[in-house]
Amino acid sequence: MKSKVVLMTCDTYDETLIYEKLQKGIEMLGGLSQFAALTESILLKPNLVRKAEVDQAVMTHPAVMGAAARIFSEAGFKDIRCGDSCGIGTTKRVMAGSGMDTALEKYGVSIRDFDRGTKVDFKDGIRAEHFILSDEVIEADALINVCKMKTHALERITGAVKNLYGCVYGINKAKGHTVYPSADSFARMLVDLNRCVRPRLHIMDGIVAMEGNGPTSGDPVPMKLLLISADPVALDSVYSRLIYLDPMMVPTVYHGEKMGLGVWQEEYITLLTEEGVMSMSEAVARFGKKDFNVDRRKVKSDGWVRMERALKIFQKKPYIRKERCVRCGICVESCPVEGKAVSFKNGASEPPVYDYRRCIRCFCCQEMCPHKAIDVKRSLFF
């Protein structure tokens, strides 16, 4: 059977309009009863990462979260929860001031901090044999993934598959980058994580996306889209095509199909719109953005990769833009490497400096920097 992906146009963050679009889109997939029973507890999983201004497109927009909550509330679900394992701060602290907490609470949603974790063995894991999951994820019956359309320094894009990393508890997220340091190994772990927690439905906020130096320091760009699917690989592949990025170049998409999470090839996807079934080429021509700023360069040959690893040069690496750095130290705190690959070597009055011999290129520092002071240098050889 083909995987269905719903594409809905939406040019504003009006919660009522989004509610109508999501409700119609879910009906196209067979209705809410296909994804959860009224007796089940629902966990809405947004993309929060860290506290940021809503218009910067760092987090899932509060209006999208409110609309999703309203759909479940009006359908008769009594136990609706929301939470995330944020990179900096807790769910409640990151939501505070964004309007997301208010948008959720008016529909009776219980906002949860992911402050407890438990080791869960995953015997079917291909790359990962266990995870330290937040207890809120374990205890909920049905996980609903409400992700954000963004770029990512390591995986090219943050989408449905990547957003589930927020199910991992606390410091274990940072540790995961040391265990799975490459884009491919990290992607394979993410695919196993999705297979382990088994989200029921994926909703992508692409009304305003993030391009460039994502997932937190990029630039907002209107895409005016909502994507909905039960297949995260198919959804992410549609997102990739809409920004003219070959899905095979996205590690989470490529490995997602190989490992049985979903499908990305066009012939196995039915694209549904308000106008009916639409071909992928027509959707890309009508709704895509050819100049979307994302890394489209092809992966280097194995020979170059081996040379780079041996020489530790020419690799993609983070660097600090001194004119923007306020010396807050968040990059140092977020570095998962033992002994730290970035530190205040020259004192706290100067910006931190990198020891690239230690750096594993996980880009946690770049992702967590709240001042857009860390960028990523590209390799000279592609």
Task: Report whether 237 contacts 253 (CB < 8 A).
Answer: yes
- Which residue in 193, 37, 77, 211 sits closest to 128, CA to CA? 193
For residue 31, count CB atoms less than 10 angstroms from its CB and return exposed for 0-12, middle for 13-18, buried for 19 or more.
exposed
For 128, how many CA atoms within 13 A lie in the half-sphere containing its CB?
Answer: 28
pLDDT of 6 reads 98
Condensed to tens digits (0 to 9), the pLDDT of residues 222-277 reads 999 999 999 999 999 999 999 999 999 999 999 999 999 999 999 999 999 999 99
Query: CB-based burial of residue 30 (10 Å sphere; 0-12 exposed, 13-18 middle, 19+ buried)?
Result: exposed
CA 276 to chain centre: 28
The whole-number pLDDT of residue 379 equals 53
Q: pLDDT tens for residues 28-72?
A: 999 999 999 999 999 999 999 999 999 999 999 999 999 999 999
Nearest Cα to 188, choosing from 198, 196, 180, 200? Answer: 180
Q: Considering only CA atoms, which of 126, 204, 124 is closest in space to residue 163?
A: 204
Ranges of the chain with pLDDT below 70: 299-315, 378-382
Continuous segment of H or E residues that includes residue 317? strand 317-320
The DSSP letter of residue 298 is P
Three-class SS of residue 249? Answer: helix
Please give the pLDDT value at position 177.
Answer: 87
pLDDT of residue 25: 98
Q: How far apart are CA 7 and CA 50, in angstroms?
A: 28
Q: Is the dihedral of CA 239, 181, 169, 339 positive or negative?
A: negative
What pLDDT score was predicted for residue 285? Answer: 98
If you search the block for the tokens 């549904």, which residue do you land on? 272
pLDDT of residue 242: 98
Return the pLDDT at 309: 54
Q: What is the pLDDT of residue 174?
A: 84
d(Cα 257, Cα 312) in Å, to the nearest integer? 31
The pLDDT of residue 338: 85
Q: What is the pLDDT of residue 381?
A: 39
